[in-house]
A and B are shown apart, each in its own frame.
Chain A
Amino acid sequence: AQSVTQLGSHVSVSEGALVLLRCNYSSSVPPYLFWYVQYPNQGLQLLLKYTSAATLVKGINGFEAEFKKSETSFHLTKPSAHMSDAAEYFCAVSEDGTASKLTFGTGTRLQVTL
């Protein structure tokens, strides 16, 4: 069965600092991996996805993530945080790309301070 673990339910960074949100997955087959962002009182928006092409995936808003099979990780990074990045971030895995069944992590709340 597939699962996702997000280390750190809450991460706080200063504006301009590096953002690193951690995600580790468990999957019996090569997974599809995703990062979604949820702004307050809104639905989820796809940031980026890994579907077995390039291991370094670039997404919207300057975010990127690297798939590391040996570490079963898919950490999300951004070189320089903006205040507007404050939101909840969810990592998700899908073993079965055909049914698009996503299993989400518990989320990481990113706080950006001045």
Chain B
Amino acid sequence: EMHLLESGGGLVQPGGSLGLSCAASGFTFSSFAMSWVRQAPGKGLEWVSTISGSGGNTYSADSVKGRFAISRDNSKNTLYLQMNSLRAEDTAVYYCAKEDDQSDAFDIWGQGTMVTVSS
């Protein structure tokens, strides 16, 4: 069974940094693009960043460009999101998601990890 498990969320002060991880199992991790999607409390879904299967290509939303960095370690079946210069508006549940290579939809999601940016 395909499974994603996020970790690393927590409370951080504005301007601070935090790193998230997403451990994958049940599929050939290196064959699929992976993404981070976030959801602020009581709000809708917002795409954050995507990385290709090889890790050679990355894409990010304008709202996080230059502050967040997505990466992956295919030897460890793990996806990462390094978040710097955090702002209050980055407060959200962060989900990792696997991209289906035929439809570009997100077919497998983790349970999410909460990031709170507050002083």
- Do A and B associate with each other? no
